[in-house]
């Protein structure tokens, strides 16, 4: 699933990635502010079932985001 993410915009301070599946679409925005990386995820439910599926899936997603950011920041 990670391979399906596309970079749809990028500049010096922000990169936006997009993914669309059968039940939802999502944008991940990575921005830089005073040396701090901000990772935001925006999810749009395309089908009613996604409203049930995404909330429990978002819990491990948050953990994976935290781990990914820590790994990216380590030398």
User: What pLDDT score does 25 carry?
Assistant: 92
pLDDT tens, per residue, the chain with 75 residues: 456 889 999 998 899 999 998 888 999 999 988 888 888 989 899 999 888 988 898 899 889 888 887 887 777
Q: How far is CA 11 from the centre of its chain?
A: 17
Distance between CA atoms of 12 and 10, rounded to whole angstroms? 7
pTM: 0.70
User: What pLDDT score does 3 carry?
Assistant: 60
Distance between CA atoms of 51 and 39, rounded to whole angstroms? 22
Task: With CA atoms as reference, report the closest residue to 16 among 32, 5, 27, 26.
Answer: 27
Q: How far is CA 42 from the centre of its chain?
A: 7
Distance between CA atoms of 26 and 17, rounded to whole angstroms? 8
User: What pLDDT score does 71 carry?
Assistant: 86
């Amino acid at each position: 699933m990670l391979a399906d993410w596309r970079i749809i915009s990028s500049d010096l301070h922000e990169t936006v990635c997009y993914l669309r599946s059968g039940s939802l679409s999502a944008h991940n925005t990575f921005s830089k502010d005073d040396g701090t990386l901000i990772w935001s995820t925006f999810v749009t439910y395309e089908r009613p079932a996604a409203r049930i599926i995404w909330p429990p899936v978002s819990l491990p997603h948050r953990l994976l985001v935290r781990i990914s950011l820590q790994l990216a920041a380590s030398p």
